[in-house]
Structure 1
Amino acid sequence: MKSFKIKSILLAGVLTLTTVLSACGSSSSDGGSSSDGKVTLSFLHWRGEDVKALDTIIDKFEADNPNIKVEMQTMPSDQYQSTAQAKLSDGSVGDVFASFPGSQFEALNKAGQFADLTGSDFLNNYNSDLIKAGAKDGKQLAVPYQLVYNIPIYNVKMLEKYNIKAPTNWDDFLAMCQTLKDNGVTPIAFAGADIGPGQFMNTMVMNNEPSEDIFTKVEAGDAKLTDEWWVKTLSQIKELNDKGYFQANALGTKDAAAGALFIQEKAAILASGSYQLAQNKAANPDLEQGLLAPITVGADQAKYEGVHTTTFMLAVNSKSKHQEEAKKFLAYLSQPDVATEYANATGQNVTVKDVSYSSDVMKVVESWTSKKTLFQPRFSIINADNQKAVTNSIQAVLGGSSPEDAAKEAQSIVDQNVSK
């Protein structure tokens, strides 16, 4: 689609009309404004699976706001983390955009990418405790929209078939995996090539770590990845792999392939999180799912039952030429009725108050709201290179490195960043 902008140029007393062709939308030279006064907002995020639901919501927003058009652009989450900042930098893309908590939020904040949302009326629609991840130095810079449980998904009927109860300690978790393997079922589908290490590490480390701020201490040089808690975590992940409890070539398996194993009921557990419940159910309507976190210690030593994250942090680009319109769109998404529509259409819990959950998928996670869960440990790692070093150490043990060597290599990268 193209839009045309007419410039009047007075030259040597002669009025000449020159037609200037410019790209439609937020990539236009005037930041998304057209000659008829309409504004086009660019909405940039990574949730491609939400596009259908968001298209419906955007249609209603545009009907209520006929002078504002919203164009969505999505990309895979791994690409989003590595390239979003560059795309957002000049304000031509992402008038409204999403951010991950942790290292991406910190990097975007340092770059001055967030418009200040402090004092906006729509913030009153949110559970104040659940949007703290989007606050910095007393300012609300982004609004976490989703409440996600980073807990492996399991096939309820399959565990019932083999009379397996949810394990409450490490020995029982291993026994469960062995029973599944003995019956020809892959115990855990693990996407070792992309999202698996970053997701599975959270529940694996939650009860091993000596304190919930341990990664903050690591980045400050006050603790090390070579300490017992991380070496133990790597050892347990290696144990699962060495005993054949992951599928063959877990290190080379990407997210879609791991998900397919679970959807086709060839694997009993999918090492991801609640954000994949809806797409699993859509692909296999007969699939009955639950959430099951590995407990890596004795039952009496377990501090947490699972892990949660407030993510999909919606923000307004400080470089946008249309911040007021962008805030109007964000305010619309923050309305309880709109958030309810989004939640039930996508299968995602949200941080907005007074939302009514009706879908079967949402009922899977309903009980977890009252359980003892920890904010995702991976997102407490602020430096992106350090975060990558930690997840790389998991890939290293899957590739054959000893836990001690993998931890040492990761710590060497952290040491370089601590000394900077």
Structure 2
Amino acid sequence: MFNYLARLLAITLLAFTFSTSSKAETVLNVTDWQAGVVGITDSYAEFITNFEAANPGVKVEYTQYTFNTYLEYLKPALSSGTGPDVFPLFPGADFEGVYQAGHLLNLTEIMDDEWKSWLGESASIPDLMKDGSLYLAPQDAFTEQIWVYKDMIADLGFELPEFGDSYTVDEWIEIGNAAKAKGLDGLMFGPVESWCVWDGYYNMVQQLNPTYPNDIMLQALNGEVDWDQDIFRKPIEAYKKMHEAGVWRADSLGMDYQVQAWGKWIDREGVGIYCNGDWFNASAPVEHNTLDNPNIYKMSYPKISKDSPWTYNKATGTNAGININSDKIDLAIAWVRY
């Protein structure tokens, strides 16, 4: 009798274990490079709650990396078959490398009319496409600018430019010199994260572009125009001029943006941060970012000269790709589309 009860109990436990395991959560792995960005973290927390509620039995594992460590993790993980189901990529070389390795799902091929209607023109952003197809879904806008503390600018004896405008390269050098006299940096700069250099360069090129808003940078990248001309050379010279004049500290060349440069700017070691995006609004110093004390001012990139026209970058922020080797592609599509 005892043996019979023991066997019955064992069978019952086995059946219970099988039943619970069959109902175990399906885990969707999602990553990004936005570590430390409070606004992004808070937004994703709410997004994950809503997605899991809409998809019972699904758990989203969301992992953040810094911009510098992200690709060190992502590329080996994708190559070894252990990569995340959904992951963002920055347009350019990062996107190109992962695309050429065959890790991305073609979104155009699986996109229905409803999805296309949501995206509108964003369903055909050239920087996110290859061979006429979309491989990265744009998630948010990318409106990067220079941020400054207004009280510091005033203390140095300068007036703020008109909203939407900026200081010239020479004016930034003057501000940098005045800041150094007070033991400050003109700008905090984290060029280890390449977009901090690239986006400003892109903007300065467009300032010199006689056919703006035609995108001459895209033409150059596609081999349609020659790189060997002043329109591409002068912005490099502008960076060199600001660096040699000490607008930012010399060791900035070894600093990242999201942790080092941003942290030092929060600590008010520099007048401005080069560059910053609206996705960081929630991470701005609270005491300088209220209706009673709107002490943070935003302006465009340095102007090559006083008569340079205002130009604005066309770009996107987080662009989600789907791992073509994921065993949860349908769920990954649902996440990106959600």
- Could you say which TM-score interval applies, normalised by the shorter chain? 0.7 to 0.9
2:239 is aligned, of 218, 237, 240, to 237
Is 1:271 the counterpart of 2:266 in the alignment?
Answer: no
Give a deviation string over 1:248-300, Cα, whole Å, max 9, x none: 53223333232233212231111122143332335865673232224433343
Equivalent residue runs for 1:10-25 within 5 Å:
none
Aligned match of 2:186: 187
Aligned-partner SS, 1:149: coil
Aligned-partner SS, 1:307: coil
Aligned match of 1:371: none
Shift of 1:186: 2.0
Is 1:291 the counterpart of 2:293 in the alignment?
Answer: no
Aligned match of 2:32: 45
Residue identity in the other structure for 1:71: E
Residue identity in the other structure for 2:94: Q
Identity over aligned residues, as a percent? 19
Runs of 5+ in structure 2 lacking a partner? 1-13, 15-20
Q: How many Å separate the matches in 1 of 2:205 and 2:101?
A: 31
CA RMSD of aligned residues (A): 3.4
Residue identity in the other structure for 2:185: T
Q: When you count strand as a share of all residues, which structure comes out higher?
A: 1
Q: How many Å separate the matches in 2 of 1:295 and 1:228?
A: 17
2:118 is aligned, of 110, 115, 125, to 125
Q: How many Å separate the matches in 1 of 2:219 and 2:103?
A: 24
Is 1:148 the counterpart of 2:142 in the alignment?
Answer: yes
Aligned-partner SS, 1:309: coil
Give a deviation string over 1:152-183, Cα, whole Å, max 9, x none: 22223333443413245444444444444455
Relative to the length of structure 2, the TM-score reads 0.74
Q: Does structure 1 retain, via aligned residues, the 8 Å contact 2:128–2:135?
A: yes
User: For the structure 1 residues 54 and 172, does the alpha-carbon distance in structure 2 shift closer, same or farther, using more than 3 Å as the test?
Assistant: same
Residue identity in the other structure for 1:310: T
Aligned-partner SS, 1:42: strand
Q: How many Å separate the matches in 2 of 1:200 and 1:182?
A: 26
Q: How many Å separate the matches in 1 of 2:296 and 2:124?
A: 28
Q: How many Å separate the matches in 2 of 1:107 and 1:192?
A: 21
Aligned-partner SS, 2:275: coil
Q: Does structure 2 retain, via aligned residues, the 8 Å contact 1:44–1:98?
A: yes
Aligned match of 2:11: none
Aligned match of 2:5: none
Q: Does structure 2 retain, via aligned residues, the 8 Å contact 1:199–1:271?
A: no
Equivalent residue runs for 1:245-260 within 5 Å:
245-255=247-257, 256-260=259-263
Q: How many Å separate the matches in 1 of 2:154 and 2:329?
A: 52
Q: Does structure 1 retain, via aligned residues, the 8 Å contact 2:169–2:242?
A: no
Equivalent residue runs for 1:20-419 within 5 Å:
35-36=22-23, 38-48=25-35, 49=37, 50-89=40-79, 91-118=81-108, 119-120=111-112, 121-129=114-122, 132=125, 133-161=127-155, 162-166=157-161, 167=166, 169-182=168-181, 184-195=183-194, 196-208=196-208, 212-214=215-217, 216-217=219-220, 220=223, 223-224=226-227, 227-255=229-257, 256-274=259-277, 275-281=279-285, 285=289, 288-302=295-309, 304-332=310-338
Relative to the length of structure 1, the TM-score reads 0.61
User: For the structure 1 residues 37 and 257, does the alpha-carbon distance in structure 2 shift closer, same or farther, using more than 3 Å as the test?
Assistant: closer
Residue identity in the other structure for 1:259: W
User: For the structure 1 residues 72 and 260, does the alpha-carbon distance in structure 2 shift closer, same or farther, using more than 3 Å as the test?
Assistant: closer
Shift of 1:217: 2.9
